[in-house]
Amino acid sequence: MATRSVEAIIRPGSPHYVGDGFRVHNFIPGNQGASMQRMNPFIMLDYNSKYRFAGTDKPRGVGVHPHRGFETVTIAYQGKVAHHDSGGGGGVIAQGDVQWMTAASGVLHKEYHEKEWAKEGGPFQMVQLWVNLPARDKMSPPKYQAIQNNTIPKVTLDDAGSTVEVIAGTYQDTPGAASTFTPVNLLNARLKKGSAAGFSFPAPYNTALVVIEGSIVINGKNQAPTDHFVLMANDGESFTVEATDDAVVLVMSGEPIHEPIAAHGPFVMNTRQELIEAFEDFNQGKFGYLED
């Protein structure tokens, strides 16, 4: 099996706010080479690097907005987010949890810092990743997978206590917690200083890492510090990640969906006509109603 090399190590750009509760660096599509087409099926990645929010009685967040045509995956590293949707659903994503929301045909939702957490404030660190859906599933019914940390399968790597959490896909034959529409691997490697983990995905799968904590060396030669995005090339399957400090690394690898992408704001479809329909359906209340 050939080694998959590092294509680029991307520094976090200047942050912007999504609503007033998410201070994010955008890596996908970004402007440093990780475009939607390049990263397909991963079409958006916002990273809220560790940031301390002060306590407040009015939780910060982002108000009612729609999605159609893809899935949103929220990974909470620190802090708590409460969410509500137009289907009457809702819940809290706490530290270590993952929420896998299939927006598909359409939901309205809002996301705020959880009320009690917001009162105290504290460090907040999250990833929001959008995973595209193939044309056949874009208009399927919306659903949630609320994945609590204790239900995520963990593979122990060594005696030092390094583990890989399998959010989706497989790692060393251990299947992940989330079901996906196309092949997607999403893993959290929690590595102690000096520990290493090996990964192998088919070469055509688009693959990237986000260094959430600590620092790592990839394939024994490429160093990536905290808060950096590592774009892996498609020249091989296998690569290693070694922690030079206690590290947490988000690893994503997915089979590209070879279909046209027509994207505008919160809608990601295949054609312009489908985008226009999405706007019309949203304007006509077909996504339901949710109080701000």
Partner 1 sequence: MNRFPFATYLTSNTDLDETMIHELVHQCMNKSVDKGAYLLRQGETCEYSIFVEKGLLKQFAIDDQGKEHILQFAPENWIVSDRASAYFNQPSEYFIQAIEDSNVVLFDEAFILQLAKSNASFLEFNHRQLHNHIRQLQRRILQLQSATASERYQHFVKVYPDLLLRVPLVQIASYLGITPESLSRVRRELAQQNRTILS
| String of contacts with partner 1 for each residue 210-249, x by CB under 8 A | ----------------------------------------
In the complex, the smallest distance separating the C-beta of residue 266 from partner 1, rounded to whole angstroms, is: 7
Q: Is residue 105 part of the contact set for partner 1 (CB under 8 A)? A: yes
Q: Which is nearer to partner 1, 158 or 280 (CB)?
A: 280
Q: Residue 286, interface with partner 1 (CB under 8 A)?
A: yes
Nearer to partner 1, 78 or 128 (CB): 128
We find the least distance from the C-beta atom of residue 19 to partner 1, in angstroms, to be 12
Report CA 235 to chain centroid distance, whole Å.
Answer: 24
CB of 13 or CB of 288, closer to partner 1: 288
**Dihedral over alpha carbons 38, 196, 190, 221 (to 10 degrees):** -40
Instruction: Using the rule CB under 8 A, give the single segment among 26-34, 158-166, 251-259, 272-280 that binds partner 1.
Output: 272-280
And the tokens for 108? Answer: 């309205």
d(C-alpha 258, C-alpha 241), whole Å: 29
Positions in 160-219 near partner 1 (CB under 8 A): none
Q: How far is residue 107's CA from residue 287's CA, in Å, rounded to a whole number?
A: 6
Confirm if 54 and 34 have CB atoms less than 8 A apart. Answer: no
Dihedrals φ, ψ of 187, to 5°? -135, 145
For the residues of 42-63, what is the DSSP string, one character each?
A: EEEEEEEEEEEEEP-SS--EEE
254 contributes a contact to partner 1 by CB under 8 A: no
The residue with tokens 């996301």 is: 111
Q: State the binding string over 32-71 for partner 1 (x if CB under 8 A, else -).
A: ---------------------------------xx-----
Least gap, CB of 85 to partner 1 (angstroms):
8
Beta carbon of residue 45, minimum distance to partner 1 (angstroms, whole number): 18
Nearest to 188 by CA among 222, 172, 211, 221: 211
Does an H or E element contain 10, and which?
A: strand 6-10
Which CB, 38 or 65, lies closer to partner 1? 65
Rule CB under 8 A: say whether 19 interacts with partner 1: no
The answer to whether 256 and 37 have CB atoms below 8 angstroms apart is no
Nearer to partner 1 by Cβ, of 16 and 119: the residue is 16
In the complex, minimum distance from the CB of residue 282 to partner 1, in angstroms, rounded to a whole number: 7
The torsion defined by the Cα of 228, 244, 242 and 9, in degrees rounded to 10, comes to 20
To partner 1, the closest distance from the beta carbon of 263 in angstroms equals 11
H runs (alpha helix) in the chain: 36-39, 115-120, 272-283
| Binding residues for partner 1 (CB under 8 A) | 65-66, 86-87, 105-107, 141-142, 264-266, 276, 279-289, 291-292
